[in-house]
Amino acid sequence: MHSARSVFRGSRRKLILAFDSVSDMGGCETSILDPGVVPEIKGVTRFPADAHEHISHASKIPTIIYYDRAGNVKAVGAEAVQEAIYRVARSENWVKAEWYGSALNIPILFGSDSRGISQGRFKLHLTDRAAQGDIPPLPLNKTVVEVFADFLEYLFKCASAYLQDSYGTGWWASVQYQIEFVLSHPNGWEGAQQSEMRRAAILAGLVPDTTAGNARLLFVTEGEASLHFAIHNGLPTGAIRNGEGVVIVDAGGGTIDVSSYCKNVSGGSVDKFDEVAAPQCHLNGSVFVTLLARAFLRQFLADSQFLPDLDHITECFDKTTKLRFRNSAEDQYTRFGGPRDNDPECNIQFGQLKLIGTDVALFFDPSVDCVVEAVLSQRRTALKPIFHVLLVGGFASSDWLFNQVRQGLIVHGLSIIRPETPHLDKAVSDGALSFHLDRFVRSRVSKLTYGTFCHIPFNPALPDHQQRLGKTFTSISGRRRIRDSFDVILPKHTQISETKEFKTSYFREAKSKHEFQAASFSVWCYRGALAEPKWKDVDPQNFAKICTIDIDLSNLPLTPLSKPFGGGRFYRLDYDVVLLFGLTEMKALIAWKQNGVERRSAAKIVYDPDPTNEAN
């Protein structure tokens, strides 16, 4: 399918840039929006150093940064893989940063599949002791956000140079201060990670830290970006004409992002899709194949003279053997040296290491199993029947992965395909721009149960209230209430439209009106198995604070009230918190009634620095 794109109906030229920067390979896509012209998506294909022999299609570069010991950027991307840079880096003791993107991951977002991710380390952290040492630390005195910002700044400079070479400096000057940016991220990331990405974008100089500047920065999940790519590059016919459910598997370098969609066939000629299952994110991308290979080789070469060459051999495996592996019945070869490099005991002859095909297959098994299990899980929980599975992303180019996944799913009656395009690794960056231009998704499914803790009227007739007598108190208005009740705002697995509002009414009481200048409202999520979580002290380890919403109450009307049975006066403020979960970012508003008319004001969302914070 190739969905027709409409002409741009704006009144002035705009430039959109989409950055894919949180995987092992990064890239940038551009789209120029001229009034009355159908927008096109084009990639940035020229990067410094002319190191394109290392880059597939010259549109993706390694997410690698070299820093000197003072923390200054010395080489990035394609430059960083040049042999000359490697020699200088070793002689001057530079620090190499790579795969940093998923260091923004938080373990609880991925459940048991997180394998011990740490914010203080690079990208992917395995509890497997054999592989744990393979991931280097962040450069000295650098935070994850700063490293991320350095790479974004580099991508932006490359895009700027590429576009100025193509269209001229005058053209660039006409658009550079109004550029809109789209940043993609794994399905498992939430508001806290988006907040860190926003900080990095501001630090990189993409946008200023103003209301207008922040409005020019958009986020999209890799799963949703991949759907947009698929719509233009080979979504199954049945998924288009008949509205059959399709699972999109974005198999990338670090993560495997799995999302399910169904076309709304009653939507007329406009293509609109609904998400029909909560998206998933798993740390089983192609990087893990390489890490498992490295762990195997460390043991296999333990007594060999070539053990000091482990890094180089692993890199050669990653760039050659891993990519061409197709048959586990055949021996696999990794060339890393010359004719004089021999060790018969370790199957090394003439600089070439021989590996048994079944051993290589074992490196892929966790990723294969992950995709199969994730797809079947999506089918079990989807709100519509699933018929198709579409594999995209750089890892999807692996014939072994594709064929093994197909064998695992075809027995379940599913159709498994790959788009017929050589640019599977551009699915996210290309799709991110399509997301901005086309907006095919009209509803999304909540991954978690969202709510807040509040106090409610105490009812002595209810057993669960009697069990919590120690949490009761008398309010300022003289009524007995009970703390730590979980008020569900949005249940898990709920399909929500982009414009759907979740409005919850709350009130505050105080003796003085001066106590109503500001308030905060915490949004919590529940990640456990309870169908209807009600109390903070039941399964507390699965409650986590998502964010705090800061509310300005200074302009809201206040009326003094009398306490029942005498006892003086007090003030009560009634207001509604309005949340929108159906967008790619959560939005919050405060609403109140003034003279019978609803008034609204934007509320500030502050994400908790530790979203794994338990409710204790």
Q: Which residues contact 411 (CB under 8 A, 6 or more apart)?
A: none
Residue with tokens 């599913």: 414
Looking at residue 268, its pLDDT comes to: 60
Residues of the chain predicted below pLDDT 50: 50-57, 102-134, 611-616
Does the domain spanning 235-418 belong to CATH 3.30.420.40? yes
Q: Are 430 and 229 in contact (CB under 8 A)?
A: yes
Long-range contacts of 561-564 (CB under 8 A, 24+ apart): 561/477, 563/476, 563/477, 563/478, 564/477, 564/478, 564/479
| pTM given for the model | 0.84
Tokens representing residue 431 in the block = 């799709």
Nearest to 105 by CA among 24, 28, 196: 196
Looking at residue 468, its pLDDT comes to: 95
Does the domain spanning 14-221 belong to CATH 2.40.10? no
What are the tens digits of pLDDT across the range 283-332?
A: 899 989 999 999 999 999 999 999 999 989 999 999 999 999 999 999 99
- Other Cβ atoms closer than 10 A to 609: 10
Long-range contacts of 410-417 (CB under 8 A, 24+ apart): 412/376, 412/379, 414/375, 414/379, 414/386, 414/387, 414/388, 414/389, 415/236, 415/238, 415/387, 415/388, 415/389, 416/388, 416/389, 416/390, 416/391, 417/234, 417/236, 417/388, 417/389, 417/390, 417/391
Looking at residue 316, its pLDDT comes to: 94
Distance between CA atoms of residues 362 and 356, nearest Å: 10
Length of the chain: 616
Looking at residue 525, its pLDDT comes to: 93
Q: Is 521 helix (H, G, I), strand (E, B) or coil?
A: strand
The H or E element spanning position 374 is helix 357-381
Looking at residue 543, its pLDDT comes to: 96
Looking at residue 176, its pLDDT comes to: 92
Q: Tell me the torsion sign for CA atoms 321, 323, 327, 328.
A: positive
Looking at residue 613, its pLDDT comes to: 43
What are the tens digits of pLDDT across the range 74-101?
A: 999 888 888 888 889 889 999 888 765 5
